[in-house]
Structure 1
Amino acid sequence: MNFYDVDSPTSPEAFWQEVRAAYPRQEPLLNLNNAAVSPPPLEVEQAVVDAYRLISRNPDVNMWSKLDAALPDIKAQLAQLIDCAPSEIALNRNSSEGLSTAIFGIPLQPGDEVLISPWDYPSARAGWFQRREREGVQPVVCQFGLLDDDEAIIEAYSRAITPRTRVMLLTHMYHWNGRLLPVERLCALARAHDIITVVDGAQTFAQMPVSFRNLGCDIFITSLHKWLGAPVGNGMLVVREGLIDDTWPLLAPFDLPPLRIDKFDHWSLGTYNSAIQAGIMPAIRLHRRIGVERIQLRLSELTRYWIGRARDIPGFRLHTPLDAGSLDAEPVDAGPLGAVALFSIDGVDSRLLERVLHEQHRVHVKYRRVEDIAGMRVSPHIYMHKDELDVFVDALQAAISGARASC
């Protein structure tokens, strides 16, 4: 049976076993930090290896005349996934580069205000603070809690808007704890006040259905090496057609500045590794064969599974809001549960648990701390199975017992 056949009568777990076979083995660690970077599927890995070997035979010709000839089709396929025009897509290296392009490229005057939150990606916040120091642009922090409901968040942004507000930075899903923002409603709020919206979609694109048109934002940024499974070093920047000409590129282009999306592309880097972009198309093909709706459901299922097992551990505290269908917990109006969740154990140092899990149990999770929230982030991917999550929870229980015994 070919696992690409979505109508196959094969049982769900058998289906995901075949998906697993499409990925390289994760060893020696059980990888539960896919929110940072995910392994590419085997066919993606092979495509990059083949492309690199092709480059080696005639670099100047094979990189730019052969491999780069595929880029328009790659953009066309990505445009179908994100629901925009290919002429609105630039390819770069990652979300941080895309964010910097927007942050430093949107023309602003001293005293203009930009709305940010305490929970946005640190380098994005730092970029706006740098513009404050250099140009007098004023970042305004919208205060709300990571576990607040949607209405409280919308109220926080609405309350912060003034006649000087020019830009609103919105993180679609916070990497800290998987909290999903009501971005579509916030973009509508921004449009009503003629405010440019920049959406950091690093954690949502390819993890769940995302439509650039439906979000209604002006700029959308993502990495392709997380939930799409493209090779490390691939990112996507989407800029609304009407905003392209007025936005400065991050790096000066080699040719005279063209007033189109090309000015944001990787060309301005000079010589770069074209081989990694050869892995984007097979990643798209695999993603399509499985289906983004099925991927979202599976990731939510895996997250619910490990939380359902871990919640009985004494002192277990979840820092990710649960939707109304989750685990009989008090729900927060926060959209669907995804693949990213943050937890802590009362009375146990999360940094110690992270280290013990890694060194003694070969389980890799990620310690995260922001403001007054700290814990361990867990982010499974579709190549993982529930028995591996059992291994994680069993290891967690053993690590907690050891930590408490040593106190």
Structure 2
Amino acid sequence: MIQRRNFLISGLLTTVMAAATRPAQAAESVALPAPDPSKLATDAGFWSGVRDLYDVDRSTANLENGYWGIMARPVLETYVENIQRVNRQNTVYARKSFDADFAAVRDRVAGALGVSPEEIALTRGATEALQTLIAGYNKLQPGDTVLYADLDYDSMQYAMGMLESRRGVTIKTFAIPEPATREAVLETYRKVLAETPRAKLLLLTHLSHRTGLVMPVREITAMARARGVDVILDAAHSWGQLPLDMTDLGVDFAGFNLHKWIGAPVGLGFLYIRKGRLADIDTHMGDKDWPADDVRSRIHTGTLNFAAALTIPAALDLHQAIGVTAKHARVSHLRNYWVERVAGIDAIEILTPNDPALHAGITSFRIKGKVSKDDNTATVNRLRDEFKVLTVRRAGVAAGQCIRVSPAVYTTEAELDRLVTALTAVTAA
């Protein structure tokens, strides 16, 4: 199984890389140069080869890839093989071999992130990871304050709100300004922290699922730490879309997805607790399967999808073969492609800054004056039904609801042209 997976991925990606980087007259034996990420964003040959790894229904232009990421064909084939293997061997496999295989998967994920395996535990997604960290954070005292912003994810907001009854803390919320700029974002966090002397915990989203805004995490975390405030980072959308260095970010607690921009099967993620901070998160539901000094005691998921977990290395193989720098360049290019083409439409408000440090592939827009659920649902429905372009309505933004556009590495410029045509017609009506 593993040999087949490696053969599929390495063979397909070698072909893609060769097509993108080899001069037409070069012999097959010539050593290939490393792809230049600065040119990969628009290299038609390279991205055509990458697209060929994905079996996609093109009847509708799917610009809602923020929900979860399609598995590429070699990853999907590995998943099917794993399903068949686990189903065939059943509890013989589960009792005899899975623990060692699962530990190896954990090691692989940690290596890909650049952290120690002793700092992560696999979960069923970023939501489970982050809710576990929030609920288990035990340094709060009655009267302390916890902070979160309007752009943070709903389920994480719920968990932060629960701390009011569970820990006796005060909840303070705030809004990220529109239009967002780096300095405006930093000033917002600076002001909130300064005005909240009893703040002890801050929820911070690296890349917002609502608007695609990328937060300056390192700077905000440093501000918080200087005031004795811990940060729990929601990295559900950033890992796989952005180059990411945990040491540089400086956070001690974080939750990640594997089924969004990494492209593993749905229902996979992990939590991160920096060495030296484990005692600040409670063991999960009194877990006794692992020692209290083992990060795996902080989450107990019960029986999980064995085959899905075993497929994580295949997804990481492909992710790393394409390269996160190349993926970031591509989705950023696709974002800029459609944003630049609707810039002249006065009725369109782009909520995500053009500053390349503040966005990746996800960007949201609002039609001026249309801030309600009904308004945005109607627009999403019209884009889907009349123009065959799939987007999604996003609520929770303080200034009003909006519509999110999330291209993927397999998205074509022609599909974004359909979005531009659709928005031109919708705003002209």
Give the percent of matched residue pairs that are identical in Structure 1 and Structure 2: 32
Can you list the C-alpha shifts for 1:96-134, whole angstroms capped at 9, x where unaligned?
111111110010221122121122111111111111023
Alignment-derived partner of residue 120 in structure 2: 89
C-alpha distance in structure 2 between counterparts of 1:336 and 1:64, whole Å: 47
Q: Does 1:342 find its partner at 2:356?
A: no
Per the alignment, do residues 308 and 50 of structure 1 end up closer, same or farther by CA in structure 2, a change over 3 Å counting? Answer: same
Aligned residues: 390
CA contact (8 A) 2:182 2:358 kept: no
CA contact (8 A) 2:151 2:176 kept: no
Q: Structure 1 stretch 298-307 or stretch 66-75: which is displaced more?
A: 66-75
Alignment-derived partner of residue 200 in structure 1: 234
Q: Does 1:175 find its partner at 2:209?
A: yes
Alignment-derived partner of residue 35 in structure 2: none
Give the alignment of 1:80-159 within 5 angstroms: 80-107=111-138, 108-159=140-191
C-alpha distance in structure 1 between counterparts of 2:21 and 2:238, whole Å: 26
SS at match of 1:114: strand
209, 213, 217: which one pairs with 2:247?
A: 213
Structure 1: gaps spanning 5 or more residues: 326-334
CA contact (8 A) 1:245 1:260 kept: no
What amino acid is the match of 1:138?
T
Q: Does 1:393 find its partner at 2:420?
A: yes
53, 56, 70: which one pairs with 2:87?
A: 56
Can you list the C-alpha shifts for 1:267-291, whole angstroms capped at 9, x where unaligned?
x222221111122111111111111
SS at match of 1:14: helix
After TM superposition, the score normalised by the length of structure 1 is 0.89
Give the alignment of 1:310-389 within 5 angstroms: 310-323=342-355, 335-346=357-368, 349-369=375-395, 370-389=397-416
C-alpha distance in structure 2 between counterparts of 1:400 and 1:68, whole Å: 55
C-alpha distance in structure 1 between counterparts of 2:296 and 2:283, whole Å: 9
Q: Structure 1 stretch 6-15 or stretch 218-227: which is displaced more?
A: 6-15
Can you list the C-alpha shifts for 1:285-325, whole angstroms capped at 9, x where unaligned?
111111111111111100111112222334122111111x7
Q: Does 1:2 find its partner at 2:2?
A: no
CA contact (8 A) 1:106 1:248 kept: yes
Give, in angstroms, the shift of residue 32 of structure 1. Answer: 0.6
Alignment-derived partner of residue 321 in structure 2: 289
Alignment-derived partner of residue 238 in structure 1: 272
C-alpha distance in structure 1 between counterparts of 2:255 and 2:23, whole Å: 38
Give, in angstroms, the shift of residue 212 of structure 1. Answer: 1.0
Per the alignment, do residues 286 and 157 of structure 1 end up closer, same or farther by CA in structure 2, a change over 3 Å counting? Answer: same
SS at match of 2:402: strand
Alignment-derived partner of residue 307 in structure 2: 275
C-alpha distance in structure 2 between counterparts of 1:390 and 1:316, whole Å: 16
Give, in angstroms, the shift of residue 368 of structure 1. Answer: 1.4
C-alpha distance in structure 2 between counterparts of 1:29 and 1:303, whole Å: 18
Q: Structure 1 stretch 285-294 or stretch 57-66: which is displaced more?
A: 57-66
C-alpha distance in structure 2 between counterparts of 1:345 and 1:163, whole Å: 39
What amino acid is the match of 2:198?
R
C-alpha distance in structure 2 between counterparts of 1:12 and 1:215, whole Å: 31
What amino acid is the match of 1:365?
T
Alignment-derived partner of residue 62 in structure 2: 31
C-alpha distance in structure 1 between counterparts of 2:394 and 2:100, whole Å: 41
Can you list the C-alpha shifts for 1:216-272, whole angstroms capped at 9, x where unaligned?
00111111111111111001211111111331144442526432111135xx22222
Alignment-derived partner of residue 329 in structure 1: none
After TM superposition, the score normalised by the length of structure 2 is 0.85
Alignment-derived partner of residue 30 in structure 2: none
What amino acid is the match of 2:124?
R
SS at match of 2:311: helix
